């Protein structure tokens, strides 16, 4: 001290500080520093006040000056490292903690900062080691025990993580953060009931724990309890409006509820708060596509793809499928990045070869219901040869009675509802039943259970139908495809071994009913005369380039209309405004409302003259619908799996001339067909004939090819051959028509 007055002033400042009178304390500290800029204690304590009042930058500067003056003051080290950590400067916090440990290698508080900083820096094993060193000195350090569990959870050592959280709770039962962490683990393991119970315990102890409300929202969203999930996210945001993760979760719920405008607003807020938050840029862009909001689409697409190519987790794989300019390589990289961030588990299957009289075949899906996957696959399940295959359905979705659900349940020998079981329980069931071949019908679609296949419960695991691309994972051995959707030079972009069926990969159901009554045009909102172009694809599949092409077709075809699936109100308004910009009357866009019965929708399609496909994401089930209803489908083969499906379908029904290779050719052919009624009538007649003779709608034929593929996989497995290419892409396996 420079004088007794300064010492007295410092004591008064400390008294104010300890009594919570921060303004008075700060004033005195500043007076001391003005008189003595090297007063380390005044600098340090003023730094603590600045940190407490949110002025982190000034706090760090003051603490840095105080430590420079007293480099061996362990209390200064502890406080400085802690403030740096709280400021998110984890590397600096670690460096200061290391300086303190050079003074006292077992200082508990400094060891704690080191351990948590290492965890934030993703040096997880070093973090656990630091926690272990601390706990050897202070075995009842509850916060350290809890945070050690968090590091173990990030290492996907869930059993050890849960043991840490339980240990913390045994010492301090009312430790809300440990209950929160248990909930997060249970949520990751799809143990939803246990997760909700843990979050409820955390919130009973600390109702303002925003992260527990977020966790609750995530689980409720997985359970399709959208209203309850929104309430949880809103509670989190009421507590901490700047939580980007809560805005992301809110957006996900609103997107699932098809409230796209609100979803976009939530994603936009999340991205403004944290541009690097996982999945936000892709989700935000996808919501814009659902709204047909194409403002600055090129710029936003370029930024998203640049982030993905830098190996950032900027999008979920499904959202990327609709993004213009994304390539098969981009989609594989996105899938691999997504899988990399998911939990890893020890395999349940250890290489043993089962010897069963029949091949045990299981399908995993949440879509055994009124859903495109349900419509397409009902016939496949019915036609399976039960003398060669023992079939099991593992149903993840809600049990909603419908004709499709009834057919599917009746087609399987074993139909097991596993929707409320955890991933581990489902995987254990598959292993206990010694399933030979597990077919994942979901991929990266909503509510998928990748955690089941990640546990490797079956010797052969197959990616089929539900997701139009690679899963990017060694857990999936094969992908069923054909030569159109995955050309040979694209096989390198698939982490699975490609298996080519000789016909179209997409199974169809030849028992689908079409209502006998075809409603008149007026009833459909269509003009009595004039050419009807149609496209019933989802709004996110529409691109400005394709829409511009369609507008040119309407302009060149007087009295024509474009018949689209009814989209959300914002999308419809945006499309009508876009039509006006092309000098096309908005009422030439006709939006078809959703009908309760698919048979009625199929019947009304017969009033259309030509189905126009979309790029970069083709019609899939909607193209099957049109062809089954007798409407020719014009497509352009794209650059990815999702952009080549319609070409595969059209080829499999013998209408190869309707497959074009460029937008210009697509536009020219559409105009030719609109102007040549006899040629179009000939195509419709050809389609009517081919439906019963070409492969696309021959359900039994396609089933036999799929069974031949399964048999080939099974035989390779029986011979002990590797199920997939381990070091380099393998040649596609060709499955000939038996």
Number of domains in the chain: 3
660 shares a domain with 565: yes
* Residue found under tokens 């300086």: 99
In a domain, 47, yes or no: no
Q: What number of other Cβ atoms are within 10 A of residue 427's Cβ?
A: 25
Q: What's the CA gap between 264 and 285, in Å, rounded?
A: 8
Q: What's the CA gap between 92 and 96, in Å, rounded?
A: 6
Gyration radius of the chain over CA positions: 31
485 shares a domain with 540: no
706 shares a domain with 684: no
pLDDT of 10 reads: 86
623 is written with which tokens?
Answer: 């193209």
The candidate with the shortest Cα–Cα distance to 180, out of 142, 206, 144, is 206
pLDDT of 725 reads: 47
302 shares a domain with 432: no
In a domain, 667, yes or no: yes
17 is written with which tokens?
Answer: 């500080």
Q: What's the CA gap between 515 and 57, in Å, rounded?
A: 70
Read off the CATH number of the domain in which 326 is found.
1.25.40.10
Q: How far is CA 263 from CA 222, 260, 284, 421, 671, in A?
A: 17, 5, 8, 29, 38
In a domain, 592, yes or no: yes
In a domain, 250, yes or no: yes
In a domain, 538, yes or no: yes
pLDDT of 726 reads: 43
Domain around 422: 359-510+702-735
pLDDT-flagged residues of the chain (< 50): 1, 725-727
Q: What's the CA gap between 671 and 550, in Å, rounded?
A: 10
In a domain, 601, yes or no: yes
Q: What's the CA gap between 637 and 618, in Å, rounded?
A: 9
674 shares a domain with 580: yes
The three-state secondary structure class of 592 is: strand
pLDDT of 735 reads: 85
674 shares a domain with 608: yes
478 shares a domain with 364: yes
Q: What's the CA gap between 545 and 706, in Å, rounded?
A: 36
DSSP symbol at 587:
G
The packing angle between helices 74-86 and 56-69, to 10°, is 160
Q: What number of other Cβ atoms are within 10 A of residue 277's Cβ?
A: 18
Read off the CATH number of the domain in which 375 is found.
3.40.50.11380
Residues 244/216, Cβ–Cβ less than 8 Å:
no
Read off the CATH number of the domain in which 607 is found.
3.40.50.2000
The three-state secondary structure class of 359 is: strand
Residue range 569-593, pLDDT digits in tens: 999 999 999 999 999 999 999 999 9
720 shares a domain with 650: no
In a domain, 299, yes or no: yes
678 shares a domain with 569: yes
DSSP symbol at 732:
P
676 shares a domain with 536: yes
The candidate with the shortest Cα–Cα distance to 724, out of 470, 434, 427, is 470
The packing angle between helices 176-188 and 158-171, to 10°, is 160
Q: What's the CA gap between 47 and 727, in Å, rounded?
A: 55
567 shares a domain with 490: no
Final residue of a domain: which of 285, 308, 340?
Answer: 340
Composition of the chain by helix, strand, coil, percent to 5: 55, 10, 35
pLDDT of 732 reads: 85
Residue range 512-527, pLDDT digits in tens: 999 999 999 999 999 9
In a domain, 8, yes or no: no
313 shares a domain with 398: no
């Amino acid at each position: 001290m420079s004088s007794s007055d300064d010492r007295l002033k410092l004591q008064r400042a400390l008294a104010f500080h300890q009594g919570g009178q921060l303004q008075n304390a700060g004033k005195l500290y500043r007076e001391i520093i003005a008189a003595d800029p090297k007063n380390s204690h005044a600098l340090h304590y003023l730094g603590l006040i600045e940190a407490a009042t949110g002025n982190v930058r000034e706090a760090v500067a003051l603490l840095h000056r105080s430590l420079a003056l007293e480099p061996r003051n362990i209390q200064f080290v502890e406080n400085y490292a802690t403030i740096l950590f709280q400021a998110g400067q984890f590397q600096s916090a670690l460096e200061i903690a290391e300086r303190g440990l050079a003074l006292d290698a077992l200082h508990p508080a400094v060891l704690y900062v080191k351990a948590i900083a290492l965890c934030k820096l993703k040096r997880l094993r070093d973090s656990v080691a630091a926690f272990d060193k601390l706990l050897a000195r202070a075995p009842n350090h509850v916060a350290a025990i809890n945070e050690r569990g968090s590091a173990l959870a990030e290492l996907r050592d869930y059993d050890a993580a849960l043991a840490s959280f339980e240990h913390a709770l045994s010492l301090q039962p009312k430790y809300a953060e440990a209950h929160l962490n248990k909930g997060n683990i249970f949520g990751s393991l799809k143990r939803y009931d246990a997760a909700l119970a843990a979050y409820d315990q955390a919130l009973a102890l600390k109702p303002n724990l925003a992260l527990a409300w977020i966790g609750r929202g995530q689980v409720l969203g997985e359970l399709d309890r959208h209203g309850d999930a929104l309430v949880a996210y809103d509670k989190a945001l009421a507590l901490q409006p700047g939580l980007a993760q809560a805005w992301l979760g809110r957006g996900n719920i609103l997107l699932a509820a098809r409230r796209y405008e609100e979803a976009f607003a939530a994603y936009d807020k999340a991205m403004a708060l944290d541009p690097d938050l996982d999945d936000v840029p892709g989700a935000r862009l996808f919501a814009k596509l659902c709204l047909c909001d194409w403002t600055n689409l090129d710029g936003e697409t370029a930024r998203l793809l640049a982030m993905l190519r830098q190996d950032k987790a900027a999008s979920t794989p499904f959202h990327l499928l609709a993004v213009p300019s994304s390539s098969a390589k981009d989609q594989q990289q996105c899938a691999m990045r997504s899988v990399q961030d998911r939990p890893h588990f020890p395999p349940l299957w250890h290489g043993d070869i089962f010897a069963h009289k029949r091949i045990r075949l299981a399908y995993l899906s949440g879509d055994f219901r009124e859903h495109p996957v349900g419509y397409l696959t009902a016939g496949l399940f019915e036609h399976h040869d039960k003398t060669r295959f023992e079939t099991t359905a593992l149903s993840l979705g809600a049990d909603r009675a419908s004709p499709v659900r009834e057919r599917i349940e009746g087609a399987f020998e074993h139909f097991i509802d596993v929707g409320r079981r955890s991933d581990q329980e489902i995987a254990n069931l598959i292993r206990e039943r010694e399933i030979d071949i597990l077919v994942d019908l979901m991929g990266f679609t909503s509510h998928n259970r990748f955690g089941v296949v990640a546990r490797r419960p079956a010797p052969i695991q197959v990616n089929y139908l539900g997701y139009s691309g690679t899963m990017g994972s060694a857990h999936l051995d094969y992908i069923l495809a054909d030569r159109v959707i995955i050309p040979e030079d694209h096989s390198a972009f698939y982490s699975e071994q490609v298996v080519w069926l000789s016909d179209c990969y997409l199974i169809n159901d030849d028992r689908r009913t079409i209502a006998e009554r075809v409603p008149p045009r007026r009833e459909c909102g269509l003009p009595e005369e004039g050419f009807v172009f149609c496209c019933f694809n989802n709004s996110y599949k529409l691109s400005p380039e394709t829409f511009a092409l369609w507008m040119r077709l309407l302009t060149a075809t007087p009295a024509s209309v474009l018949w689209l699936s009814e989209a959300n109100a914002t999308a419809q308004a945006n499309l009508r405004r876009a039509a006006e910009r092309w000098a096309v009357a908005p009422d030439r866009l006709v939006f078809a409302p959703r009908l309760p019965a698919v048979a009625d929708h199929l019947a009304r399609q017969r009033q259309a003259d030509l189905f126009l496909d979309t790029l970069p994401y083709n019609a899939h089930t909607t193209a099957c619908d049109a062809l089954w209803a007798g409407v020719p489908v014009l497509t352009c083969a794209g650059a990815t799996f999702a952009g080549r499906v319609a070409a595969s379908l059209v080829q499999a029904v013998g209408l190869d001339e309707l497959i074009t290779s460029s937008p210009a050719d697509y536009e020219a052919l559409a105009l030719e067909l609109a102007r040549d009624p006899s040629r179009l009538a000939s195509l419709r007649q050809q389609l009517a004939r081919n439906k019963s003779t070409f492969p696309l709608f021959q359900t039994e034929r396609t089933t036999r090819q799929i069974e031949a593929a399964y048999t080939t996989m099974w035989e390779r497995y029986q011979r002990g051959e590797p199920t997939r290419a381990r070091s380099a892409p393998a040649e596609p396996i060709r499955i000939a028509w038996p």
